């Protein structure tokens, strides 16, 4: 009995060794180094994106100062352009805003909470309170950040309305605009410093957690990317098209006044895809390929995911109207867009997380 059992275990050991020499399946080769991937992210994607947002915020601040000094059509156009670039820069960081400094201090709400609350904004402008960056800091999400600036400088009724407001109402509106852009610049600088090795250096902690457990950076990063996709699906598209609560809410789109919402969704999506790919370096696609994750027998999971990004872009391109109008004018198309996002969420949140052995939970699993 005893001998037989020992030999049974021995047999297994032997077969393991013999398999070893025979194995050269597609799964060998390996050595996917998550540290290299994480470093690629901080160096080539995360820090540059926050740094870009910081410089754009600087340009926006300068443009608003110029506009305040001289309220002209040309200066307004320059300011609007600066806003669009800043909003794009912010959306390019979106894939990383659920990990590290941005997440810890809820920057999403402080910088880009839409729709803007125009009633409250107008109240502040017409009140006698002194408007400065500290005052802005104390305000709620819809009264500050990019959406509030957008409300002040864009109108669907045309630029003349904006120019007229600034020319006739005088200093308070200008002060509000100035304080808003200053506040955004301050936030952008904080964010960048949060990651920069010369600043608060979250990068160091980020790189040190190269495992795959619940608190690891790979896990946080994957979940941040997924959250960013879910935000587009649920907030940018879902709420306006009535997927939350049933009724249409076109006024809830991002960038309602500038009707720039589709462009921003595209920027957001491209940045997320770029994050998935790790830019030019090691990303989640390479990680999936390294472990030979297949969608089906003849298709890699990473290819399937990239294909889904493509089909979303196609669905976006099919829209002829800005999103707030497409909500009613192109219902079939926005529905298709929404559904293509649903598939992307399932691919990332279900398949990718599962294949990479990542977890969203922190409690114990079942043991053996």
Q: 367: which DSSP letter?
A: -
Residue 246 binding other proteins, by CB under 8 A: yes
Q: Which is nearer to other proteins, 198 or 362 (CB)?
A: 362
Binding span for other proteins by CB under 8 A among 3-11, 39-47, 83-91, 100-108: 3-11
Q: Minimal distance in Å, beta carbon 252 to other proteins?
A: 13
Contact with other proteins (CB under 8 A) among 7, 10, 27, 73: 27
Residue 247 binding other proteins, by CB under 8 A: yes
Distance spanning both ends of the chain, measured CA to CA = 25
CA angle 140, 221, 187 (to 5 degrees): 30
Binding span for other proteins by CB under 8 A among 54-62, 103-111, 131-139, 348-356: 348-356
Contact with other proteins (CB under 8 A) among 70, 138, 198, 364: 364
| φ, ψ (nearest 5 deg) of residue 248 | -70, 140
Q: Which is nearer to other proteins, 62 or 210 (CB)?
A: 210
Q: Find out whether the peptide bond into 115 is cis, omega within 30 degrees of 0.
A: yes
Q: Minimal distance in Å, beta carbon 136 to other proteins?
A: 30
Give the count of residues interacting with other proteins (CB under 8 A).
61
- Provide the mask over 259-298, with x wherever binding to other proteins is found by CB under 8 A and - wherever it is not: --------------------------------x-xxxx--
* Cβ atoms 283, 275 nearer than 8 A: yes
- Collapsed DSSP state (helix, strand, coil) of residue 357: coil
- Bridge partners of 299? 296
Residues 189-208 contacting other proteins, CB under 8 A: none
Residue 332 binding other proteins, by CB under 8 A: no
- Collapsed DSSP state (helix, strand, coil) of residue 31: coil
* Cβ atoms 118, 150 nearer than 8 A: no
Q: Which is nearer to other proteins, 165 or 227 (CB)?
A: 227
Q: Which is nearer to other proteins, 31 or 157 (CB)?
A: 31
Chain-centre distance of CA 28, in angstroms? 34
Residues 209-238 contacting other proteins, CB under 8 A: 210-214, 234, 238
Q: How many residues does the chain have?
A: 368
Residue 365 binding other proteins, by CB under 8 A: yes
H-type helices in the chain, by residue range? 2-22, 34-40, 47-69, 73-93, 101-104, 107-111, 118-126, 133-137, 145-153, 159-169, 171-195, 202-208, 217-231, 261-277, 284-290, 301-317, 323-329, 331-345, 353-355
- List residues binding other proteins (CB under 8 A): 1-2, 5-6, 8-9, 12, 15-16, 19-20, 22-23, 25, 27-28, 30-32, 34, 210-214, 234, 238, 242-247, 291, 293-296, 342-343, 345-347, 349-351, 353-361, 363-368
């Amino acid at each position: 009995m005893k001998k037989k059992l020992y030999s049974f275990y021995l047999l297994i050991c032997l077969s393991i060794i013999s398999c070893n020499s025979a194995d050269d399946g597609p799964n060998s080769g390996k050595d996917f180094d998550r540290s290299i991937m994480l470093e690629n992210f901080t160096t080539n994607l995360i820090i540059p994106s926050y740094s870009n947002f910081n410089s754009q915020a600087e340009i926006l601040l300068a443009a608003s100062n110029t506009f305040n000094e001289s309220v002209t059509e040309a200066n307004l156009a320059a300011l609007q352009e600066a806003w669009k670039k800043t909003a794009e820069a912010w959306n390019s960081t979106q894939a990383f805003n659920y990990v590290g400094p941005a997440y810890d201090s809820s920057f999403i709400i402080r910088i880009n909470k839409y729709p803007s609350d125009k009633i409250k904004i107008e109240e502040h402008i017409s009140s006698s309170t002194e408007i400065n960056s500290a005052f802005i800091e104390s305000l709620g999400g819809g009264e500050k950040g990019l959406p509030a600036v957008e409300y002040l400088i864009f109108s669907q009724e045309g630029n003349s309305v904006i120019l007229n407001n600034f020319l006739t109402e005088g200093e308070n509106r200008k002060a509000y605009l100035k304080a808003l852009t200053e506040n955004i610049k301050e936030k952008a600088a904080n964010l960048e410093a949060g990651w920069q090795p010369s600043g608060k250096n979250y990068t160091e902690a980020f790189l040190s957690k190269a495992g795959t457990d619940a608190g690891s950076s790979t896990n946080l990063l994957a979940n941040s990317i997924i959250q960013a996709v879910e935000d587009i699906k649920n907030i940018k598209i879902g709420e306006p098209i009535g997927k939350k609560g049933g009724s249409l809410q076109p006024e809830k789109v991002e960038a309602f006044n500038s009707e720039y919402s589709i462009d921003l969704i595209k920027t957001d999506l491209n940045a997320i895809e770029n994050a998935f790919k790790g830019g030019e370096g090691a990303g989640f696609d390479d990680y999936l390929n390294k472990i030979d994750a297949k969608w089906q027998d003849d298709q890699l999971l990473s290819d399937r995911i990239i294909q889904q990004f493509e089909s979303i872009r196609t669905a976006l391109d099919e829209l002829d109207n800005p999103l707030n109008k497409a909500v009613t004018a192109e219902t079939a198309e926005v529905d298709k867009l929404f559904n293509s996002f649903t598939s992307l969420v399932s691919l990332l949140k279900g398949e990718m997380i599962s294949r990479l052995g990542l977890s969203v939970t922190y409690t114990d699993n079942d043991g053996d």
